[in-house]
Structure 1
Amino acid sequence: MDFAAHVAPGHPRYLPRGREPWEGAFTFFRRNADRSIDETNLAERAREMARLLDVVLQRHHQPALLIGFSSGAITAAALMATHPGLIAGAVLLRPQSPFGEKVFPNLNGVSILILSGEDDRRRTRSDGELLYNQLLASGATVTWHNLPCGHDFDAQGHDIELTRAWVAQRG
């Protein structure tokens, strides 16, 4: 599903795909054998993605609004941590902090929506809260919802509904 088409119709969209093989598909960065994030690999992939965001900035004359799900949300958070000037805001669905307890740079003026799943078996209960607190401490404006679902999109449509409303508030 092209989630962005449902929540931000009429806005330009770029849909990058991760290039790291993982569990029969592709993801944006490598994980270690224990499923923890390979932070060195994530930082390198974020640098690569920043090149795309720079092209978007040059083409549209404004920083990008990122929408990421799972590894895409972690990568979006990594981009905010490493290339904050390229991001106007972000919707992070089922995220976790990209670099553990490390501090984010100044994100004043950046709006972020975090959507976690209460029964997400791929995340700990504290993942959304840690990222929420890190982003708040950076000066970002952060809204966080813990939805009654697992790692997948909420069957009741709350992911789409909340994101659509959040994007509409930003124009």
Structure 2
Amino acid sequence: MPLTNFDPDNYPIIVAIDFGTTFSPKQNVQYAKTLTLNLYQKVDGKYKMMEWGWKSKLQMEFLDASNYVQLYQYKPYLDENLTLVPWKDKVSVPNAISDYLRALHEYVEKKILQQFGRSYSRKNFRYCLTVPAMWSDKAKDVMRKAAIRAGLISASDHPDRLTLVSEPEAAA
């Protein structure tokens, strides 16, 4: 099925996410940097994200570590050019990324709706997500699929609804 033309006027809200290794700045919110950190609780043998960002860091201090796992600095694991200690956590890197993006997106959506009222909804958003310049097409594809799993866009959306921009290009 051929793609239809992308009309940016259908998406008047641009959500820009600088997905960082340690921090993830986001636009249109008062406190623009949040910690790139996920807190998972073991429930029925599976790990479910219960908190993200700064709250994740604060809550972990008071929890029984045997039933929780805190994940951070997972972004470098998508870079095939880096030699890193093998990832051994209970949650895969792509799932950690999509869980984080989902939580961040829900937060940003809530703030946008508070600011602009109900005249906009998620269907009016398009996205700009930064990625390292040296990432391979495979790593970018993993990030795009994580954004789809997170609910930023759907697999049937026009690819231009989510723009992956290299970090140096975004900073320029």
Do they superpose with TM above 0.5?
no
State which structure, 1 or 2, has the greater radius of gyration over its C-alpha atoms.
2
* TM-score bin (small chain): 0.3 to 0.5
TM-score by length of 2: 0.33
Higher relative contact order at CA 8 Å, sep ≥6: structure 1 or structure 2?
Answer: 2
* Larger proportion of strand: 2
TM-score by length of 1: 0.34
